[in-house]
Structure 1
């Protein structure tokens, strides 16, 4: 299949960070302001320990030997600097929350748009719950990291550099202690991060699978209860739940080791500072105030390193979540229309398939060598056993999938020569699995034709034999249908879907087991009404109940991706071949 790609798929964490950075750069001016606020806040906070040392040096040996005016002077400035730092920190927090909210909105919007841009094949192999998990849980995890962890990382970098420079200015000799302890902290952190990184990716994956399983079980409640599978389902859920909990525990447990290990090493450095600082004081190289300032700066220096180790698990979790989000965004989209493709206009409804071959994967071919010619206005019925390739033919006609070989023509134009949008608008489709969204009956019926008049809606509803039911509802066509139409029967949902298809100005109609949820009498009435309503329109009907297609212009019998018989009902019955066997089997 020919497909396109919107983003370059990242091969590693660097690629993920670059794509995440792309979202942040959309708000570069706000980001620049955030950087300035971060620098300002941390630099103001770094002045405090220096002023504290000056205040302590104002204390002389002996009782009452304190220069209080000097102490109060430096204390006053300390309060001022810390207040200013706190104000800038508050502004930074508000700004980062705003940026992360905008990034989250943009990311979720891009993911949703991407979902609409993906080929049908993507949803055939990915669980709905897992997709929902990416657009909700994973993006929320990234959002939390952006608003909290990014600020801490930025502050840590500035604080560490600033504290180091201040300690270097106070005593280069004491700084030598960190030559040993800092590399040891970094090596320990790097080792533990490398070990725990796969655990966070596994955690996100297991949570996605758990959500997918829960979504399937919730949507299949009726089937679950009919087959008395509650106990079995609980056991299966327990397995997946246990896997998700274990993955979560392992990630958090091993991730939590980083902070105490790094904190231990930094506390050792503080012990060394106390000992060597005392020796330098005795040698007259440092004052008590300078030692105090150095200790405070060493805590500021070590604190961010501890914090970095502490939030490392959060950062890894966010990166794992971001990878899942970008994996979806980097999926191959549907192939773009050819440059020379033109909109399909003045549609008649002639369809032709020439030696079409297709398989959903390279290992198994569904359509082997299919050729078919349908004239405008004909009613074509497609029958065959399950897996024969009936629905696959429809998927190829609408370009949900592209054929591996062969050509498909509509009105004499090869489907790749026309735009996909105009091609699909040429069809109206009613599937066995009906789709009703939350909204009024009127909104559901006019989904494909929003400018439809009430008279047109009523005419379609009458033709679909659903008008009487609608008028007996309290609010008529304004009645609100709940999620997936749970407050009406399957048969009524099917009739609404048929009425919705009737409203479209499409020249080609596809009915894939469209009347499977209605009784035989209603089905016959619907077919009669549709036959009158859809004159001069090409109709494809996939049916298992052969008694409903006896009036078809042509009946195609499909077996293993090939048309093995074709003709009218009477002609096929006289052949006593495959169709005759299928027909007889239904009445045995």
Structure 2
């Protein structure tokens, strides 16, 4: 599809104000809630694994207290507690392994569903969305951003749950052992929380910017790769490299800033936690000297304090990764929240038994407010007629086709098919009534037969070959290594532009539609072949309404009706001979091509 004239092309989707973090987390929770039983099992395994791990420090204290002094050691108790510690830690590790596998499975399900939702929604978006959005940015959201969310769910979510259980359990055990020592954390923990909150607010926009810059970089790379031949023809390699270096630098700087400030949080909180351990050791030693705490309890308290402080430090690091995941999820949800193509009108009817009578009455349209492209245009294409639309670039020829297919709706006026206003018809039935061949060929990875039978899945090989003969591509296909079973890759690499275009024309000939649209469909074939194809299509499409947009006026001399469009208006119309005799704008266009 050509880029619509006058439509803005944004580097990223969703220029609206970003959703807040709570909203993004709520949307992610809705995905997780679809697998609530797996999530419940994961929470149960997390609780069991961490509780078993919390028993270890207590058993360590018991083992130390079993040593009463030199020569006074209860070895049976020491070995018992040591064995129990090993057993509990082994069981905790086993449950943690099962939990990690479960979380990977859960995150993959969520990522699969997100990708499905995004791709399904893409199929519902209007053509205007793709006219203003870079393909590379869309691909970046489907791949990189969802992968970021997937990694966060499989690792960070598990770590948060583990940290929460460990912190609560360790705090409870420390309160049982020595409530006085817990007062140390009354100062260090608020300091860590306040610092983490401050850094989170500062880092969040940086991660959002990082995802946006990566999307822009992917979009630029996609444009360069698709147009590499043009770049070489115009010797713009250095210019392209220079622009890429600029965008790459912006992406690297965005990555660096996000990772730099994000990585500051962990070490800073770790310093605060180490300070708390130092204070615990000093105060614990004083309490031990005054016999207010046993050596075993002090050892257990220190171990629990390590467990208590460790998750807080990990949480600071995890928050940085969560900022990245939230920014990525935000971009994905912006895409999902894009307005789909408007629904059919209530009570819209199916277009059936199509005759092909098309009318446009006083149609006015503009892609942007205040910028009208079509001004009060009217035309009538009778059933079975061939209507050619000609005019200079930017005159509104392709816009007419967009309106006929209801890719866009006019701001004023009416478009009728068989006397029915197309706004009262279902879009699906209207578009199925047309067969369309664009100037830009589109072939997918698959056999030649599959590419031609794309719009008619039940087509037989004989029907495909008949269409290919009519399109003058049959002999070229037979010269391929496996004929019609040859697999085309890379958008038909190995075929010339003309051959690829004739394949798409054969695809159109195969369909049994009552109306045909050719948008510069033969621009890549030579004039002689084009005339043959036009005659073949005229015979094959006898009784069907055809619209042809053409620059080479010699190819439309047999058209029943020629519309000359200029500045969004039909300035002349009639047959080829009549328009030439009139000596107007059409005659100027025609003679200019032969001078």
Residue equivalent to 2:40: 32
Q: Which moved more, 1:193-202 or 1:474-483?
A: 474-483
Cα deviations by residue, 1:215-252 (Å, 9 ceiling, x for unpaired):
11111111010001111111111101111111111111
- The answer to whether the 8 Å contact 2:397/2:565 transfers is yes
Measured after TM superposition, the shift of residue 9 of structure 1 is 9.8
Q: 2:547 aligns with which of 528, 540, 543?
A: 540
- The answer to whether the 8 Å contact 2:365/2:372 transfers is yes
Measured after TM superposition, the shift of residue 472 of structure 1 is 2.4
Residue equivalent to 1:480: 487
Measured after TM superposition, the shift of residue 400 of structure 1 is 1.0
- The answer to whether the 8 Å contact 1:458/1:467 transfers is yes
Name the TM-score, length of structure 1 as normaliser: 0.97
Structure 1 residues 126-525: aligned runs within 5 Å? 126-525=133-532
Q: CA RMSD in A?
A: 1.2
SS in 1 for 2:436: strand
Regions of 4+ moved over 4 Å: none
> 2: distance between equivalents of 1:290 and 1:363?
78
- The answer to whether the 8 Å contact 1:9/1:327 transfers is no
- The answer to whether the 8 Å contact 1:59/1:65 transfers is yes
> 1: distance between equivalents of 2:236 and 2:302?
65
Aligned pair 1:41/2:49, yes or no? yes
Measured after TM superposition, the shift of residue 282 of structure 1 is 2.3
> 1: distance between equivalents of 2:100 and 2:478?
56
Q: Which runs of 5+ in 2 are unaligned?
A: 1-15
- The answer to whether the 8 Å contact 1:100/1:143 transfers is yes
Q: Which moved more, 1:443-452 or 1:281-290?
A: 281-290
SS in 1 for 2:415: strand
- The answer to whether the 8 Å contact 1:262/1:309 transfers is yes
Measured after TM superposition, the shift of residue 167 of structure 1 is 0.7
- The answer to whether the 8 Å contact 1:428/1:501 transfers is yes
> 1: distance between equivalents of 2:275 and 2:534?
85
Measured after TM superposition, the shift of residue 184 of structure 1 is 0.3
SS in 2 for 1:50: helix
> 1: distance between equivalents of 2:255 and 2:467?
53
Cα deviations by residue, 1:113-140 (Å, 9 ceiling, x for unpaired):
1111111111111111111111111111
Q: 1:16 aligns with which of 24, 27, 31?
A: 24
- The answer to whether the 8 Å contact 1:350/1:374 transfers is yes
Cα deviations by residue, 1:370-418 (Å, 9 ceiling, x for unpaired):
1122111111000111111100010111111111222211111111211
Name the TM-score, length of structure 2 as normaliser: 0.96
Aligned pair 1:78/2:113, yes or no? no
SS in 1 for 2:67: coil
Q: Which runs of 5+ in 1 are unaligned?
A: 1-7
> 2: distance between equivalents of 1:471 and 1:270?
79
Residue equivalent to 1:4: none
Cα deviations by residue, 1:32-58 (Å, 9 ceiling, x for unpaired):
000000011011111111111111111
- The answer to whether the 8 Å contact 2:19/2:330 transfers is no
> 2: distance between equivalents of 1:472 and 1:285?
95
Measured after TM superposition, the shift of residue 10 of structure 1 is 7.1
